Amino acid sequence: MGIQYDEGKRMFKLDTACTTYMIGISDEGYVGHVYYGKRLHRFGGKYLMRMEEMPYTPLVNQREKTSFLDFYPMEYPTGGVGDYRESCLDVRNSAGSIGSEIFYESHSITGGKPPLPELPASFGKEDEVDTLQIVCADPVLGLRVTLLYSVFEKEDVITRSVKIENSGTEELRLEKVYSAGLDMENRDFEMVSLCGSWARERHIQRAALRYGRQLVSSSKGESSHQEHPFLALVTPETTQETGEIYAMHFVYSGNFIAQTERTQFDYIRMVMGIHPDGFCWRLAPGESFQAPETVMTYSGSGFGKMSRSLHDFYREHLIRSPYKYKKRPILINNWEATYFDFNTEKLLDIAREAKKNGIEMLVMDDGWFGKRNWDDSSLGDWTVNQEKLTTGLPDLVSQVRSLGMEFGIWFEPEMISLDSELYRAHPDWAIQIPGRVPGLSRAQYVLDISRKEVRDYAYECMAKILRSAPITYVKWDMNRQLCDIGSTALPADAQGELLHRYVLGLYEMQERLVTEFPELLLENCSGGGARFDPGMLYYSPQIWCSDDTDAIERLKIQEGTALIYPLSTIGAHVSDCPNHIVGRQTSFETRGNVALAGTFGYELDITKISGEEREQIAGQVENCHKYRELIQAGDYYRITSWSDRKPYDCWEVAAKDGSHALVTFVQVLGQPNVHSKSIRLRGLESMASYRLEGTEAVYTGEELMECGFLIRDVKGDFQSKLYHFIRE
């Protein structure tokens, strides 16, 4: 069992393979944080709660209580009673005041992990995870706060969430409910986060912690292109292999906050949860609120260990899709090939040529429904456009399938175009503030899917299409952020619930979809990667990473994404050049090699590219088949980074049993007057011999890992190469 309780010490010890997390209960019942870090063998360190340090000792000297609360390392800090650091919970009572204080009441330790109602959450069998629930109470408010900790021993992950129950007699209002807080002493921490924009998602950012609060967040109703629900604190020497990391990642797809605070005493408070801006939840007596889950991991061996812990964790304990480790069809998507300008014949031309080159699925993207010839109409009118699909959808699907290919389709179910039959019939179904003209984005509004009748409509439209033909893949897109946050269906005092209800509505729709179509391969997408988050992974094993398909831009985007997500989740396609977004010209080979580090596919008009490029597709497809299992299930190692101002980028995927490894090297810019470059591999068996495939060269594992492998054959800008080492 990964969780122990010492009755005498009133301490909990949560152990994973390499880490320990300890919680202590003070005599008064404050639940305090004691320790998180390298695995410890014995209980200890409760003195870190510093209960006896003046000016306040709770049982003796009540006078200085606020100075105590403003320093004590609280497991779940509450607001309004004297802890001036960021609180995790703000509760307004029926008299209108905010203030709560919680004390230990009881606890339970069980094998396994209970699901979180209505929310995506990690899961595991009884022998894989144990769960601690600490029940705390605020006797004044009649509030019960259950702190949930689930310990995934093998993956070095602890998940946290919180359930708030109103066990009193008055209605309460939750104005802030975070999912986790972590208080600790500063160790010159630097903050690492993932930031960007449309077409530049999830670039790695690192900066020293200043006094005060530093945060990343989203108020856009989705996890967003700009900031990511991930935060890590790292010691200054942290590299891929050295240094300590405390990371938090949020299993949620809406507004979030991930914040660190460096306090007057050089302590750190790290918090994560639903963004409190505009949030308010009514809690009537007897009701409860479940906060989403936060994933926490500690690495004492740098970023590489953190990445591999999270990759294993998401693969084993969050992604449910049957495609998790299964072969996924190599697809060709017509978006960059045709945009809105296509018809049955055009799609079949693409499919025929694709089939000849070994591609296995045609995905029909945006523009097949209503009168959608541009992005300014018809969202919500999910009927087939007969002018484009002249013989109907079932016939198109059947023709594609008779070629021996699968068929996939695009939807954007959460949206409604201003110019749509749906909007003309139900203008009140759009999210809006009555009396104010809501802001358009991409000429569309967002459907209020917090409403059941709206969800039912949108779901049924989609399901009807999927029932009409053997369609095996859906790309679920979402192309705008939310604003004008109002629902015509919610009472005035519940408008603060809309954004969370929206996310719950989204989860409910996706749950219905994967339940009704259990074999469907679902790919989430949001104008590229604006909703690439662990919440969505619970429903879809892959997510479109970015609309930027340029191989060089993708290096930073995919590096940031792979910092925390397995490669098997990263939608990556080979597209045409000059690249549609940056206008860059890169070799077809490099485009293929970069896309191989994800869910491989094509996004171009295969009938129009040069013969020389087309001829390379067969080899890329072969690579995809050959390395698929390795890429889906192997260990990822970041070797060097272009984002770290190196002129080249390099990563490796090694089989868990050390039997082989694939190294991808991309020379972004060629350099004059340099010698060959030595790169040190990882994850091999030291004493084994490895042959570089396609050559006679044999190296020992330790040679490759310690002396390095010499890159001598990559010349020019934007050039790349794959190296496959096989154990002999």
Stretch that binds ligand DGJ, among 216-224, 284-292, 513-521, 524-532 (CB under 6 A): 524-532
- Give the pairing of strands 143-152 and 157-166: antiparallel
> In whole angstroms, how close is the CB of 525 to ligand DGJ at the nearest point?
5
Q: For residues 372 and 473, give the distance between their C-alpha atoms in angstroms, rounded to a whole number.
A: 21
- Give the pairing of strands 570-575 and 473-476: unpaired
Asked if 369 contacts 378 with a C-beta cutoff of 8 angstroms, the reply is yes
Stretch that binds ligand DGJ, among 132-140, 241-249, 282-290, 520-528 (CB under 6 A): 520-528
Binding characters for ligand DGJ, 320-349, by CB under 6 A (x = yes)? ---------------x--------------
Residue 715 amino acid letter? K
Q: Is 11 left (phi over 0), alpha (psi -120 to 50) or beta?
A: beta
Query: What residues contact 272, with CB distance under 8 A and at least 6 apart?
Result: 178, 179, 180, 229, 231, 248, 250, 256, 257, 258, 259, 294
> In whole angstroms, how close is the CB of 605 to ligand DGJ at the nearest point?
15
Query: Does residue 477 carry a catalytic annotation?
Result: yes
- Residue of 302, 528, 601, 634 that binds ligand DGJ (CB under 6 A): 528
Stretch that binds ligand DGJ, among 62-70, 186-194, 199-207, 523-531 (CB under 6 A): 523-531
> In whole angstroms, how close is the CB of 604 to ligand DGJ at the nearest point?
13
DSSP secondary structure code for residue 384 in this structure: B
Q: Helix 498-516 to helix 452-467 angle, to the nearest 10 degrees?
A: 30
- Residue of 15, 86, 366, 649 that binds ligand DGJ (CB under 6 A): 366
Within 383-412, the residues that bind ligand DGJ by CB under 6 A are 410
Stretch that binds ligand DGJ, among 171-179, 190-198, 252-260, 521-529 (CB under 6 A): 521-529
Q: Taking CB under 6 A as the rule, does residue 477 contact ligand DGJ?
A: yes
Q: Taking CB under 6 A as the rule, does residue 413 contact ligand DGJ?
A: no
Residue 684 amino acid letter? L
- Give the pairing of strands 542-544 and 570-575: parallel
- Residue of 157, 331, 525, 606 that binds ligand DGJ (CB under 6 A): 525
DSSP H or E segment with residue 336: helix 335-338
- Residue of 479, 524, 568, 719 that binds ligand DGJ (CB under 6 A): 479
Q: What is the full DSSP assignment across 609-632?
A: S-HHHHHHHHHHHHHHHHHHHHHH
Q: For residues 285 and 287, give the distance between their C-alpha atoms in angstroms, rounded to a whole number.
A: 6
Q: Name the catalytic one among 130, 366, 547, 635.
A: 547
Within 480-519, the residues that bind ligand DGJ by CB under 6 A are none
> In whole angstroms, how close is the CB of 571 to ligand DGJ at the nearest point?
9
Residue with tokens 């995934």: 152
Q: What are phi and psi of 203, to 5 degrees?
A: -80, 145
Q: Taking CB under 6 A as the rule, does residue 601 contact ligand DGJ?
A: no
Q: For residues 271 and 280, give the distance between their C-alpha atoms in angstroms, rounded to a whole number.
A: 18
> In whole angstroms, how close is the CB of 555 to ligand DGJ at the nearest point?
19
Residue placing its CB nearer to ligand DGJ in the complex, 244 or 365: 365
Binding characters for ligand DGJ, 190-219, by CB under 6 A (x = yes)? ------------------------------
Query: Does residue 376 carry a catalytic annotation?
Result: no
Q: Name the catalytic one among 477, 548, 605, 649.
A: 477
Within 529-568, the residues that bind ligand DGJ by CB under 6 A are 544, 547
Kindly list the distances between the CA atom of residue 639 and the CA atoms of 308, 432, 594, 643, 665, in Å, as whole numbers in the listed order: 14, 48, 15, 12, 9
Neighbours of 718 (CB within 10 A): 20
Q: Which residues bind ligand DGJ (CB under 6 A)?
A: 335, 365-366, 410, 477, 479, 525, 527-528, 544, 547
Q: Catalytic positions, please?
A: 477, 547
